[in-house]
Structure 1
Amino acid sequence: MGLSLDAAGLAMVTAIFVLAGVVKGVLGMGMPTILLALLTATLGLPVAMALMLVPTVVTNLWQALRGGHLLALCRRLWPFLLTASLAVWPGVWVLASVDARWLSLLLGGLLMLYAVMNLRRRSLRLVGNPVQACVTGALNGVLTGMTGSSVFPGVPYLQAIGLPRDALVQAMGLLFSLSTLSLALALNERALLSAELLGGSLVAVVPAFIGMGLGQWWRRRLSEARFRQVFLVGLLVLGAYLCLLSLLRPSMG
């Protein structure tokens, strides 16, 4: 696979990475979903998945290492994070023989349902025991491998175990960085990466970080209650976006 863009195409791709970075900075998530949705429409799914890898990994590692909760989160979440990372591989294997747009439609619908329930104050609460952690992590990993999105059910699970805002954002960084690293290795095994695409993905880190900085500046000005509202509305919009593009996208397998 190669990557050939004129000036207009380059400007458009740069703007997409800035936008995805802004969403990431505000919500602590959403970069892969935005990138896959917008880049797939113009460059195709394999190229989109390859281009998103480096900015997604780097920004999520940055997010995971900031906040002061790293050791405590690793001790608490390691069964969930481990199973979520390992389960990406069978998800990618299934992707080779399943039309992923229908799974993306299901994923979008579940995100919308979860957001609506929480906006109506019907919040899910879990204790986060090892069984819940491993089952949720395994499902999250399989869906990551099949759709490229690591949001569901991982993010609702992290919110359901009662993590406060800063710890929640840092925990999402851990989940997304480990999941994306596993996804990169699994895609490479399937020969879906090239040196040219990885080079383009590396360059894309710059606009992604610019957007992320703008988003974090905005998030610091939100109260806890307002952040929760923006977070849930963001989930609702991302879910609707996934559903719409899944219905419009031609068959992928």
Structure 2
Amino acid sequence: MVAFVIAVFTIAGMIKGTIGLGLPAVSMGLLSMAMSPFQAATLLIIPSMVTNFWQLFAEGHVLRLMTRFWPLLLGIVVGSVWSIFPTLGHSEFHSEALLGGMLALYGLYGLCAKKMPNLSQHQAWLSPIVGYLGGALTVATGVVVIPVVPYLQTLHLKRDELVQALGLAFTTSTLCLAIFLHQNPVADLPIDYTMSAIALIPALIGMGIGKKIRYRIPEQKFRTVFFIGLIALGSYMIAHQMGWF
């Protein structure tokens, strides 16, 4: 199992190093094939937290971003506390199927979204709604992707601002997820901080490899393969959870 975890986080880190995102989504998707989504989410805490902090503080201007996006962050916190969805650890809830659906939807979005509309003029009322849904889905699936990532891209931020805004949202959601997992333990599934810390090493190594790949393979081609892979992985998870094979 240790070898499997190391391989998963190396792959996920490599993807994040290449295109700047994907570590939580890929890690949760692959780990959930061998363990419960609750267990997978606990392993994600330290690698996700460290890499998101790195992404957030790389360029500075954090306070300015927090001032602009505090309604989004507040929504994430509220959604993680009062989720409208059944949360990780519910025995009768098909969290694997919901996670698979999110991954497949994310993959379709990545392949099909060419030109995003500009919704910046609606940011004041959209941010708390999007944040709430993102927080609610985080404690339901262990991943904050939909609708936070597409929403931030519709604000037409500069590249560095977008990377930092994503890092800010990911950091907030990861903190909320860590608190949720700690406060809602599942019997016989303790949070393994040691394994989570071990997973950080291959994640960082993978990010280093990914940065080298970034300069050798056209980013658009790599993104296309990545999103197709997410669709395939998400579809498999849905079919497996539903007992179709």
1:108 is the counterpart of 2:100: no
Show the counterpart of 1:3: none
Structure 1 residue 177 corresponds to structure 2 residue 174:
no
Q: Name the stretch that deviates more: 134-143 or 86-95.
A: 86-95
Q: Is the 8 A contact 2:15 2:21 kept in 1?
A: yes
TM-score, length basis structure 1? 0.82
Equivalent residue, structure 1, for 2:35 = 43
Deviations 1:9-62 (A, max 9, x none): 322321211111111112222112211122222233332121111111111111
Q: Choose the corresponding residue for 1:213, options 205, 208, 211.
A: 208
RMSD of the TM alignment (CA)?
2.6
Matched-pair contact (CA < 8 Å) for 2:29–2:99: no
How far apart are the structure 2 equivalents of 1:161 and 1:153? Answer: 13
SS in 2 for 1:212: helix
For 2:135 and 2:224, locate their aligned partners in 1 and report how far apart those are by CA, in whole Å: 22
Aligned to 2:133: 139
1:231–1:67 distance in 2 versus 1, CA, 3 Å:
farther
Amino acid in the other structure paired with 1:209: L
Q: How does 1:91-240 map to 2 (within 5 A)?
A: 91=83, 94-95=86-87, 96=90, 98-118=93-113, 121-127=114-120, 128-192=122-186, 194=190, 197-219=192-214, 221=215, 227=219, 230-231=222-223, 234-240=226-232
* Letter aligned with residue 29 of structure 1: L
Equivalent residue, structure 1, for 2:74: 82
Contact 1:30 1:238 in 2 (8 A): no
User: Does structure 2 conserve the Cα–Cα contact (< 8 Å) formed by 1:105 and 1:243?
Assistant: yes
Give the CA deviation at 1:140: 1.0
**Percent of residue pairs identical:** 33
Letter in 2 for 1:10: V
> Is 2:12–2:27's contact at 8 Å kept on the other side of the alignment?
yes
How far is 1:138 from its partner? Answer: 0.9
How many residue pairs match? The answer is 237
Separation in 1, partners of 2:34, 2:100: 20
Give the distance between the partners of 1:205 and 1:13, measured in 2 at CA: 10
Give the direction of change, closer, same or farther, for the CA distance of 1:112–1:179 in structure 2 (3 Å limit): same
- Spell out, residue by residue over 1:73-130, the C-alpha distance to the aligned partner (whole angstroms, 9 max, x if none): 2222121122113312333972236322342344234324422332xx3423211521
Q: What is aligned with 1:59? A: 51
